[in-house]
Homo-oligomer: A and B are copies of this chain.
């Protein structure tokens, strides 16, 4: 075990050295290495980024499928206090989860049929409900849940790793933060290119899971389906309540998050897009159901208990394979696929945030695409919040689970009701069938959402339910702000730019090249030019006046004395006087600035210019010009 850690340390060490070498060599090239060459906007739509369905399937399913590694376990964790007698409940709970999975997939196929351009709950709600807050509930709860997905997946990945290498246990949080940072870098590189590469680990993980399940069945055929460790079935421990059962069920349902990914990503598929997307959904549903069921049957037969130091998947695998190379491979695939799940969330979050921002309900900055066409700000916002959660909950998956999934189910519910309204309005082929699917879906997701809210409320769901309305309130406030500004900035008909007289005020600190440069520029403009000097004592002012005369007084000079050693105070007094005296003139302040060759030379010079500029722009209707003078030329 120490062996592996040492290797990891070496690898990290070498990477760090290479990195530092490049950083010293050239900062730009580091950016290129980390972020890749800039992509053209056109590449976003090019054909070769469109995916075959069996390539798209693993890419889009990492989020959903990876949850099998922690879903059943979080369900059983709720029942752990009841001991041996409650263990058999994993079977009915898993069956209920699979039933819900089926319903959701069917409903989402209806969603694809209705919105083949990739709807998502927000688009569906916006299309079918007038009050905008319904759409905002859908988008906000989904955005919040995306943040949780990153935190949960990364934490689960760390737990997989710690199961195999206990030595890493104290560093879980730090390693989790490192992983998030890595994902930020990968995602700033852009989505399309990385996607194809990322298909293989998910496929590998799927194969691993099938191998574990097959090994389980072979083992059971050999040694019998009832072992010494197999718990009794159908026993009801004294403390088992309906509430606790429902709580276990709702925790187990964390295995279903990420199901919406395919329906949001229909445009990513090759033609025929709808058909390919549906094909993917069905294949994914079947594989997930098999895995969940096989997994829980084997856990039941082997009577595996919850152990915070060792995940159930790790325990099950080591039952069949010991801790040799196969075990190692399975653990590493689990780790990687959970990281990929977090990775896919980055795309989901930043795209949804951009869509909502485009409608004016989130800051416009979320629309900015980076050099590699990923939504940079969205990526960074997501990562920051996820890190906050990871640190607050010490990267413990089971501590995060109570906050999780409620957002997803809220948005599922809204989407279902939206689709119901749509079928009633639009009708079309087989609309009765589609409608009934969505009615069933709506009823069930509503019930599940209520179960979530009730059972998980005290455990942490209250945080989500409290943040949600605040989030929506701010979204509406942002929208109002944008609308007000758009209204305010609208030009009245017939308004055109009109020239006025300008009074140019040049701030000077002495007689030297930088000042000469700025005065030359000021004199080139069609304006009256005044030079202004602020001195801290009479002597300084006298010296300045003398130098000015010696230079030949290139324009009028006003010397101000600052009693409080502040530049701002005498200047703002002057501006006030000028404003009153020359009401019809535009005031224009010119600030000479010399630009040192090395950026750190800035530390050696005063930054009064910057401060003055910010103050004048903020408080006065004054144009502020900075005239640079480059040193070393």
Contacts of A482 in B (CB 8 A): 604
Segment touching B, from A47-55, A208-216, A296-304, A499-507: A499-507
Instruction: Kindly supply a per-residue 1/0 record for chain A positions 324-354, scoring 1 wherever the CB is within 8 Å of any chain B CB and 0 otherwise.
Output: 0000000000000000000000000000000
Docked pose: A368 CA to B607 CA in angstroms:
11
Segment touching B, from A233-241, A271-279, A486-494: A486-494
Docked pose: A526 CA to B500 CA in angstroms:
11
Segment touching B, from A37-45, A217-225, A284-292: A37-45
Contacts of A628 in B (CB 8 A): 617-618, 620-624
Copies of this chain present: 2
Contacts of A552 in B (CB 8 A): 496
The answer to whether B39 and A564 have CB atoms under 8 Å apart is yes
Docked pose: A552 CA to B491 CA in angstroms:
13
The answer to whether A563 and B41 have CB atoms under 8 Å apart is yes
State the Cβ distance, A596 to closest chain B Cβ, in Å: 8
Segment touching B, from A2-10, A421-429, A510-518: A510-518
* A605 at interface, CB cutoff 8 A: yes
Q: Return the chain B residue nearest A495 by Cβ.
A: B516
Can you identify 23 A-B contacts, CB atoms within 8 angstroms?
A: A41-B537, A364-B604, A364-B605, A371-B564, A485-B594, A488-B513, A490-B513, A491-B511, A491-B513, A491-B516, A491-B551, A497-B520, A497-B554, A499-B524, A500-B520, A524-B526, A526-B526, A590-B623, A593-B617, A617-B626, A618-B628, A621-B628, A624-B628
* A573 at interface, CB cutoff 8 A: no
Q: List the interface of chain A (C-beta within 8 A of B).
A: 38-42, 363-365, 368-369, 371, 373, 478, 481-482, 485, 488-491, 495-502, 511-514, 516, 519-527, 536-537, 551-552, 554-555, 562-566, 586, 588, 590, 593-596, 601, 603-607, 613, 617-618, 620-628, 630-632
Docked pose: A514 CA to B491 CA in angstroms:
9
State the Cβ distance, A108 to closest chain B Cβ, in Å: 32
Q: Return the chain B residue nearest A598 by Cβ.
A: B481
Q: Return the chain B residue nearest A628 by Cβ.
A: B617
Contacts of A371 in B (CB 8 A): 564, 566
The answer to whether A594 and B516 have CB atoms under 8 Å apart is no
Contacts of A623 in B (CB 8 A): 521, 590, 625-628
State the Cβ distance, A575 to closest chain B Cβ, in Å: 13
Q: Return the chain B residue nearest A370 by Cβ.
A: B565
Assess A363 versus B513: contact at CB under 8 Å? Given A564-B41, A586-B521: no
Q: Return the chain B residue nearest A42 by Cβ.
A: B563
Docked pose: A627 CA to B551 CA in angstroms:
32
Contacts of A601 in B (CB 8 A): 481
Contacts of A627 in B (CB 8 A): 623
Question: Which one of B496, B604, B613 contacts A516 once the chains associate, using CB atoms below 8 Å?
Answer: B496
Docked pose: A613 CA to B617 CA in angstroms:
14
Docked pose: A395 CA to B445 CA in angstroms:
57
Q: Return the chain B residue nearest A520 by Cβ.
A: B497
Docked pose: A490 CA to B511 CA in angstroms:
8
Assess A478 versus B604: contact at CB under 8 Å? Given A520-B497, A520-B498, A520-B500: yes
